């Protein structure tokens, strides 16, 4: 494995951990496998080091991650606000995983930002804001979980990784890479996988639980979305799926049911990028995915104040689903240039 992590960053993190007794781990809103995998993975590590650690997340993680060891111990801010507040108030250190800007924590952001203790950020999104005393940002990593594994190795703590920690970390690597189908060109991630599997991780279970299982309603919702709601714009090599709250209710939608749906249009070879808009409680959640480096992050940033990775990005729109869709259609032509020229990030 190449040593890609700056040793001085790893040793500062190691000092932060050594000098702290109570440590809070936190991540972004609507947490995914990488957000929960990285925070829970570190939680297991810190506990084996004898620390009082707690995972505090902005809102409820999806049921598809409930198999992860420690899942039941996660403190959810929207459900247990005072408890989360006391954990943050008493922390000596906060480690923020898998996000690059405070607003990605929604209603949890003020509590974390105003905390007086030390903070470290561990993340793989581009252009992070300076929201922590120690910024460990590696945008070339496939996942935050890959970065966490490398950091643990660089801190000399690989021997402390137990089966539970390994299970959480491999889950984030698997979900962010869609089981090693995207974003997995670097050979090291196979070595990392090998080392985690060597500890006894049940990979088949991770793939089934976190990636491929869904309810009958969710399967039918996906079929409905593709058959009835997918619009294809051949001249822009784009596809769009929108789902209103009424449609979601019709299929008894629960959080996580549309996970992966945005990828489906990309199975059509002529489609370069896919956008999915879902009417949420307080906003329209926009998700976008692409192939061949079409920068959907630019679309999400420019039209919806969001961002993300070149091939996987998202944003939030505070208005009607119709307006959200209309804005995309009105502006699609602006992004046609990326169909021809290769996108080079600044």
Residues that bind Mn ion (CB under 5 A): 34, 98, 144, 176
Angle between helices 321-331 and 296-304 (to 10 degrees): 120
Report how far residue 228's alpha carbon sits from residue 243's, in angstroms, rounded to the nearest whole number. Answer: 10
Report phi then psi at 177, rounded to 5: -100, 10
Cα torsion angle, 155, 113, 285, 312, sign: negative
Min dist. Cβ of residue 346 to ligand 5GP (A)? 16
Q: Which does 315 bind (CB under 5 to 8 A by kind): Mn ion, ligand 5GP, none?
A: ligand 5GP
309 binds ligand 5GP (CB under 6 A): yes
> Which of 89, 85, 27 lies closest to 61, judged by CA?
27
Site string for ligand 5GP, 289-308 (x = CB under 6 A): -----------------xxx
CB closer to Mn ion, 166 vs 239 = 166
Report how far residue 10's alpha carbon sits from residue 317's, in angstroms, rounded to the nearest whole number. Answer: 37
41 binds ligand 5GP (CB under 6 A): no
Min dist. Cβ of residue 20 to ligand 5GP (A)? 27
316 binds ligand 5GP (CB under 6 A): yes
315 binds ligand 5GP (CB under 6 A): yes
Give, as ranges, the residues between 124 and 163 that touch ligand 5GP (CB under 6 A).
125
Could you please report the per-residue DSSP string of 183-212?
S--STHHHHHHHHHHHTT--HHHHIIIIII
Q: Which does 307 bind (CB under 5 to 8 A by kind): Mn ion, ligand 5GP, none?
A: ligand 5GP
Report how far residue 219's alpha carbon sits from residue 231's, in angstroms, rounded to the nearest whole number. Answer: 19
Min dist. Cβ of residue 88 to ligand 5GP (A)? 22
Residue 299: how many other CB atoms lie within 10 Å: 25
- Residues in the site for ligand 5GP, rule: CB under 6 A? 32, 104, 125, 287, 306-309, 312-316
């Amino acid at each position: 494995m190449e040593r890609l992590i700056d040793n001085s960053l790893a040793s500062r993190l190691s000092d932060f951990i050594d000098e702290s007794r109570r440590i809070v781990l936190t991540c972004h809103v609507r947490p995914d496998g990488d957000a929960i995998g990285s925070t829970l993975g570190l939680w297991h590590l810190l506990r084996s080091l004898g620390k009082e650690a707690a995972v505090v997340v902005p809102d409820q993680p999806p049921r598809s991650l409930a198999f992860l060891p420690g899942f039941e111990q996660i403190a959810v801010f929207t459900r247990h606000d005072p408890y989360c507040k006391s954990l943050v108030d008493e922390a000596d250190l906060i480690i923020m995983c898998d996000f690059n800007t405070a607003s990605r924590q929604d209603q949890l952001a003020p509590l974390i930002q105003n905390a007086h203790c030390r903070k470290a950020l561990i993340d793989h999104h581009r252009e992070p804001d300076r929201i922590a005393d120690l910024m460990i940002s590696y945008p070339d990593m496939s996942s935050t979980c890959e970065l966490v594994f490398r950091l643990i190795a660089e801190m000399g703590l690989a021997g402390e990784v137990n089966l539970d920690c390994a299970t959480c970390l491999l889950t984030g690597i698997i979900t962010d890479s869609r089981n090693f189908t995207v974003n997995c060109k670097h050979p090291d991630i196979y070595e990392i996988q090998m080392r985690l599997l060597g500890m006894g991780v049940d990979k088949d279970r991770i793939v089934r639980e976190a990636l491929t299982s869904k309810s009958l309603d969710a399967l039918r919702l996906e079929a409905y979305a593709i058959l009835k709601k997918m619009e294809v714009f051949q001249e822009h090599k784009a596809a769009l799926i929108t789902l209103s709250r009424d449609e979601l209710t019709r299929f008894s939608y629960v959080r996580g049911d549309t996970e992966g749906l945005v990828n489906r249009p990309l199975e059509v070879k002529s489609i370069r990028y896919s956008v999915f808009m879902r009417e949420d409680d307080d906003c329209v959640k926009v998700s976008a995915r692409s192939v061949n480096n079409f920068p959907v992050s630019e679309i999400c940033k420019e039209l919806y104040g969001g961002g993300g990775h070149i091939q996987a990005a998202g944003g939030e729109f505070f208005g009607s689903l119709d307006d959200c869709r209309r804005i995309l259609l009105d502006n699609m032509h602006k992004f046609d240039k990326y169909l021809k020229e290769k996108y080079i990030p600044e």
